[in-house]
């Protein structure tokens, strides 16, 4: 029987985490296709996540009360978190999942640019080359014969990218102060509160799925979302956050393969070239960033 060492176990956990996260966009798309309203999909994801985290924080005996000085940052990050989920799920109504993931997962470039401008990090010449290659890949992604019909979807995806950059940059600083598990709990708790307030004020549509598959997709969406984050943090404790983050870059590829298999979303040749360019550029960008830290 094959036995994995501690390092191999950590790698396996992170890969499973990436697989869980890659399933989330497809389950959201299925639920929407079976008649669920966008608001219901977002609310169910956050609500299921919150309910599943309750026993987890209880077992780990995590104090769920954060210091008062972190309340405003938590509220801000939680609001951005909800907006990010809603925007990404809205984008799947207009674009293939692979295209959306390739755009949104360009967020490491945005984070690098922000930290570079703020003097928190340095971008080296080879990394600038990777950034230019990401831009080239995005051009391939959006340049096809149906660009005019998909322009709205691309605009939504780029807005989701901006939210992703803001979320990752802000939440990473919070996680350093209060811990990733407590942050995850508060993200989902405040997300549910924000969504319930929004429902009362704006009377958003809460249309239920028309088929059992729609309900199953809703449940899987929230479940795999929490599994992905929980497993990622478990794996990162074993192999380190750096290696875990680089390995998580396979999520767009896995999400695309799952969408191709389940939803029959096939990328064109031009889109596939752009997709590969973006993924490889992001991978080498992360690799170069880690190498510079060792010098």
Q: Which spans in 70-208 are helix H?
A: 71-91, 97-104, 107-117, 125-142, 147-178, 180-202
Q: Does 287 score more than 80 pLDDT?
A: no
Buried b (16+ CB within 10 A) or exposed e, 65-74: ebeeebeebb
Per-residue pLDDT tens digits for 237-251:
787 766 676 677 788
- DSSP class of residue 105 equals T
**Two structure tokens written together for 210:** 């028309």
Least reliable range by pLDDT among 41-45, 193-197, 276-280: 276-280
Instruction: Find tokens 């940052």 and name the residue.
Output: 73
Q: What pLDDT is stored for residue 2 in this prediction? A: 44
Average pLDDT over residues 111-123: 82
| Residue 76: predicted pLDDT | 95
- The contacts of residue 54 (CB under 8 Å, 6+ apart) are none
Residue 4 has pLDDT above 90, yes or no: no
Residue 157: alpha-carbon gap to chain centroid: 12
Rounded CA gap, 139 and 79, in Å?
30
Across 4-30, average pLDDT: 86
The answer to whether the CB of 75 falls within 8 A of the CB of 243 is no
Q: What is the pLDDT of residues 207-230, one digit of tens each?
A: 999 989 999 999 999 999 988 888
- Which tens digit of pLDDT belongs to each residue from 137-190? 888 877 754 555 478 888 999 999 999 999 988 887 788 788 878 888 999 999
Q: Both tokens of residue 181? A: 């598990």
**pTM, 2 dp:** 0.86
pLDDT at 41: 96
């Amino acid at each position: 029987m094959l036995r994995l060492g501690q390092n191999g176990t950590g790698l396996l956990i992170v890969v499973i985490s990436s697989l869980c996260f890659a399933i989330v966009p497809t389950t959201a798309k299925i639920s929407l296709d079976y008649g669920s309203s966008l608001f219901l999909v977002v609310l169910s994801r956050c609500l299921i996540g919150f309910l599943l985290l309750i026993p987890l924080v209880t077992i780990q005996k995590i104090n769920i009360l954060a210091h008062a000085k972190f309340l405003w940052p938590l509220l801000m990050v939680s609001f951005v978190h909800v907006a990010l989920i809603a925007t990404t799920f809205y984008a799947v109504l207009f674009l293939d999942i692979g295209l959306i993931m390739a755009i949104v997962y360009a967020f490491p470039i945005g984070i690098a640019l922000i930290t570079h401008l703020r003097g928190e990090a340095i971008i080296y010449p080879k990394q600038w080359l990777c950034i230019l290659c990401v831009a080239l890949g995005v051009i391939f992604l959006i340049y096809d014969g149906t660009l005019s019909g998909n322009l709205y979807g691309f605009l939504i995806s780029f807005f989701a990218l901006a939210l992703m950059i803001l979320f990752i940059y802000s939440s990473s600083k919070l996680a350093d102060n209060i811990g990733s598990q407590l942050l995850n709990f508060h993200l989902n708790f405040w997300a549910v509160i924000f969504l319930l307030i929004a429902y009362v004020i704006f009377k958003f549509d809460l249309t239920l799925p028309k088929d059992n598959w729609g309900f199953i997709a809703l449940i899987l969406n929230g479940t795999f979302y929490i599994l992905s984050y929980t497993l990622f943090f478990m794996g990162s404790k074993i192999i380190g956050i750096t290696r875990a983050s680089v390995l998580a870059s396979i999520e767009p590829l896995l999400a695309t393969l799952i969408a191709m298999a389940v939803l029959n979303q096939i990328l064109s040749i031009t889109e596939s070239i752009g997709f590969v360019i973006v993924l490889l550029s992001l991978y080498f960008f992360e690799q170069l960033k880690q190498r510079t830290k060792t010098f």
